[in-house]
Amino acid sequence: MDIIRWLDKNIEKVLLCIFLGVMVVVMSIQVIARYVFNSSLSWSEELTRYLFIWSAFLSLPFTIRYGIALKIDQFLTLLSKNAKRIVNIIGHILMLVFFIFMLLQSLDVVQSAINSGQKSPALGLPMYIVQVSSTVGFTLAIIRTVQSLINYFKNVQEA
């Protein structure tokens, strides 16, 4: 049970840190190879691009988990405590609907990538590995949005 709690709190953060670390190391090696040894790596930019795509989709549930998603705080500060909760709940319900829609669309994209059998030019990775980042990101975003909604409803009942 402790491992599940730890994963719930940290999975996006750990993956984002790993991806950022790998991107920094790979691009540093690429710069050194290009400017010191006058030879570049054919796969470094592609790997960095794919890690960046994964990071973009994993940052979505991360921002929801920690409540740092883009929002209009100035407008919310003008509202009463109850109105603020209602606006937040409505916003999270709209986000949930949007993420479910996007998840369904991403499944079509992944299925299309699997059916095409396309591989990346430099790494030779199946392209569905890159495309599935959207599915993972939207699935985690749905989970995080539901968790936030549950917390809002708990706080409403406690108040």
Note the pTM of the prediction, 2 decimals.
0.84
pLDDT, tens only, 110-127: 999 999 989 998 888 999
Q: What is the rounded average pLDDT for all residues in the chain?
A: 87
Structure token pair of residue 122: 């430099």
% of the chain residues with pLDDT over 70: 93
Ordered DSSP codes for 91-113: HHHHHHHHHHHHHHHHHHHHHHH
What's the average model confidence in pLDDT over 143-148?
91
- Per DSSP, 126 falls in state B
Query: Residue 37 class from Cβ within 10 Å (0-12 exposed, 13-18 middle, 19+ buried)?
Result: exposed
Amino acid at the residue 117: G
% of the chain residues with pLDDT over 90: 50
pLDDT, tens only, 65-74: 887 766 666 7
Q: Is the pLDDT of residue 157 over 60?
A: no
The total of other beta-carbon atoms located within 10 Å of residue 144's CB is 25
Nearest-angstrom CA–CA distance, 6 and 133:
22
